[in-house]
Amino acid sequence: MATVIDGKEVAGSVIEAVKTASELLQKETGVQTGLAVVIVGNDPASHAYVSSKSKMAKECGFTSVQHTLPEETTQEELAALVQTLNADPSLHGILVQLPLPKHLNSEPIIQSVLPEKDVDGLHVVNAGKLATGDLEGGLVSCTPAGSMVFVRRVHGEDLSGLNAVVIGRSTLFGKPMGQLLLAANATVTIAHSRTKDLASVCRNADILVAAVGRAEMVKADWVKPGATVIDVGINRIAAPEKGEGKSRMVGDVAFAECADVAGVITPVPGGVGPMTIAMLMANTVIAAYRKAGRKAPKF
């Protein structure tokens, strides 16, 4: 039976390290780390995310600023707010909660955030720094960064000689995850829906990362015995056992059967999920250190 990674516990240890780093920065330089979160519209899931991010920022000792804009906000109004936040020296991180309402174009908004304040790691400059292996200069997208914390805790900093397979090639996760694994010296394959005989590609992986958005697609016979399996999927499936119309959350990995084969596995929920907010806080304090001309902490 695999060792199951407790994402909440690992995320908690990252948050503790962030608190320590932000306290130290304030004590030594007088700088309080600042995070601004912008939300447009009434999407309940987005509001839940934003309130948990703002709450965590306060817990970490940050200045936490939240801008809640009405559904009918125009592209120009949102762009003007981002420019104001860019110019505010007390803010080190800016996060625009996605998805935006349909009438707004998110890409120019994301790209208008200063790269050094882009704590979501979505700016092309940050993507480019990751692609060229500059892990010290950019900010890495939170979910791959969090997944990488798990990998390092299992295998250490150097993944030389290990085969890693990432299923999924999205700009948000698959590509940056592949680049992080590559930077740590793993031999990386990025597989996807067009990959021929996906199961046999996966069976070669010492580290298997699933991010396709298909419920329980990865079966036990896809997993190399003793492999580390990181499940990034979030899918809702019917759960009639809970009552009519009820659902439950599962990952892209058939957890119960794969846990019998894998060496280490992350659950859904409670695996990668909690790490995303923790790494957002880590990115914000890293940005604050860089702005203050200090060597940024590692998480």
Pairing of strands 247-250, 235-238: antiparallel
Q: Note whether 249 and 150 are same-domain residues.
A: yes
In a domain, 225, yes or no: yes
Q: Note whether 97 and 204 are same-domain residues.
A: no
Give the model's pLDDT for residue 222. Answer: 98
In a domain, 8, yes or no: no
Q: What is the CATH number of the domain that holds 50?
A: 3.40.50.10860
Partner residues linked to 166 by β-bridges: 190, 209
Burial 228-262 (b: 16+ CB within 10 A, else e): bbbbbbbbeeeeeeeeeeeeeebbbbbbebbbebb
In a domain, 21, yes or no: no
Q: Note whether 211 and 96 are same-domain residues.
A: no
In a domain, 198, yes or no: yes
In the numeric block, the tokens 């979910």 are attached to 143
Give the model's pLDDT for residue 146. Answer: 98
Q: Note whether 100 and 147 are same-domain residues.
A: no
* H helical segments located in the chain: 7-29, 44-59, 75-86, 106-112, 124-131, 142-155, 174-183, 198-202, 255-259, 273-291
Q: Note whether 74 and 147 are same-domain residues.
A: no
In a domain, 136, yes or no: no
**The total number of structural domains that make up the chain:** 2
Active-site residue, 102 included: no
Active-site residue, 43 included: no
Annotated catalytic residue, options 117, 118, 120, 179: 120
Range of the domain at 90: 29-123+275-291
Helix (H) or strand (E) holding 67: strand 63-69
In a domain, 132, yes or no: no
Q: Note whether 154 and 259 are same-domain residues.
A: yes
Q: What is the CATH number of the domain that holds 218?
A: 3.40.50.720
pLDDT digits (tens, 9 = 90+) for 166-203: 999 999 999 999 999 999 999 999 999 899 999 999 99
Annotated catalytic residue, options 97, 179, 252, 291: 97
Q: Which residues of the chain have pLDDT under 70?
A: none
In a domain, 200, yes or no: yes
Closest by CA to 154, choosing from 277, 2, 1, 259, is 2
Q: Note whether 244 and 172 are same-domain residues.
A: yes
In a domain, 99, yes or no: yes
Active-site residue, 120 included: yes
Annotated catalytic residue, options 8, 27, 32, 53: 53
Q: Note whether 229 and 156 are same-domain residues.
A: yes
Q: Note whether 202 and 232 are same-domain residues.
A: yes
Q: Note whether 248 and 148 are same-domain residues.
A: yes
Give the model's pLDDT for residue 233. Answer: 96
Q: Note whether 154 and 256 are same-domain residues.
A: yes
Q: Note whether 158 and 262 are same-domain residues.
A: yes
First to last CA, the chain: 28
